[in-house]
Amino acid sequence: MIPYTRRDWLHLLVSPRGSFSPGVMRRVLAFGVIAAALWLADRYIPRVGLSIGFYEVAGAVIALILAFRTNTSYNRFWEGRTLWGSIVNASRNITRIVSAHAAVEPAVAREFAVWVVVFVHATRRSLRGQSERPEIERLLPAAQLEALKAHAHPPLYAAQQLSERLAAFGRAGSLERNMAACAEEELNVLVNCLGGCERILKTPTPLGYVLLLRRGVALYLATLPLALINSLGFMTPIVTMMVAYPVLMIEALGEELDDPFGHEPNDLPLTRVCDTIERNLLGSSPLELVMASKAESYED
């Protein structure tokens, strides 16, 4: 996600950051070329003119479809952010319960916190389809790391490790039964949030809506010059591109937010969220976080 200052109105007005989603300008230029070709053809080849009123009605239909796409995608984005907010809270709560109420050595409590952080990092990597886990490699010993890698679902393996430790604390009497139950509830929140994120990831917006929007937008923008040529003349390509930019940008933003856990500029800043959790639970130094960030193959 691109950070910005909310009240810096003038800077945001002219800033190129966040102004273009990948591929948008190529599409805008493509429709500008189509408009230029139609304008040139109109000068030499008789054509059938189209009424601007038709495009007013068609524009309203396109606006409705764009609104649906935007609302659907933003709802997915916001639900993902809500789930990760719950992951942050549950991570802090379960670590706090063990640290404050479990009669165990500080090293044992820290190992528990490490597994909470491992769960968070493994969840992020799993949602992004990444097999490399440099931040986990520096947290776990070799044997535990190999066991995590060998498991079919690394986040669930980390959750299982946490559950086994809570059960061991309860059997040993290190953690009172009611506090162990509270900690297990927070662990359930972590796993439930993982499942919620996977539901968003694996159920994209139905293809029919996506195809309807893209084909409708392409047809609208490709034929719009036919209704503008008579009144605008050589300005038709420019006006067409001015119309195409916001329409195509909204469509591209909807595509980005459909998977809020990805690597696009407007997706959730999961790396920063995970680093915050690690810093809160383990007190990792900024230098360690910088080194982990450099090991990333992407930027939020």
How far is residue 147's CA from residue 151's CA, in Å, rounded to a whole number? 6
Establish if 95 belongs to a structural domain: yes
Average pLDDT rounded to a whole number, residues 56-79: 88
| C-beta neighbour count of 149 within 10 angstroms | 14
How many percent of the chain have pLDDT more than 70? Answer: 85
205 in helix, strand or coil?
coil
**Considering the domain boundaries, does residue 126 fall inside one?**
yes
Domain presence at residue 13: no
Report how far residue 191's alpha carbon sits from residue 87's, in angstroms, rounded to the nearest whole number: 9
Instruction: With respect to residue 5, please indicate whether it lies within any of the assigned structural domains.
Output: no
Q: Higher confidence at residue 220 or residue 17? A: 220
Cβ neighbours of residue 22 under 8 Å, at least 6 residues apart?
A: 252, 264
Residue with tokens 């109420």: 101
Which token pair is 188?
A: 């359930």
Which residue range is the domain that position 268 belongs to? 34-41+59-294
The pLDDT of residue 285 is 41
Please, are residues 98 and 112 in contact by the beta-carbon 8 Å criterion? yes
Residue pair 88/273 in contact by the 8 Å Cβ criterion: yes
CB 13 within 8 A of CB 229: no
Residue 146 belongs to a domain: yes
pLDDT score for 256: 86
Query: Would you say residue 179 lies in a domain?
Result: yes
Domain annotation covers residue 254: yes
Helix (DSSP H) and strand (DSSP E) numbers for the chain: 13, 0
Residue 88 forms part of a structural domain: yes
pLDDT for 169 equals 92
Q: Where are the alpha helices (H) located in 133-235, listed in sequence order?
A: 134-137, 142-150, 154-172, 177-202, 207-223, 225-232
Q: Mean pLDDT of all residues in the chain?
A: 85
Q: Based on the structure, what is the number of domains in the chain?
A: 1
What does the pLDDT read at residue 15? 59
Instruction: Give the pLDDT confidence of 160-205 residue by residue, as tens digits.
Output: 999 999 999 999 999 999 999 999 999 999 999 999 999 999 998 8
Nearest Cα to Cα of residue 240 among 221, 219, 217 = 221
d(CA 108, CA 88): 21
Q: What phi, psi does 118 have (nearest 5°)?
A: -60, -40
- pTM of this structure: 0.82
Question: Of 18-22, 54-58, 93-97, 146-150, which range is least confident?
Answer: 18-22
Give, as one character, the DSSP assignment of residue 261.
Answer: T
pLDDT score at 148: 93
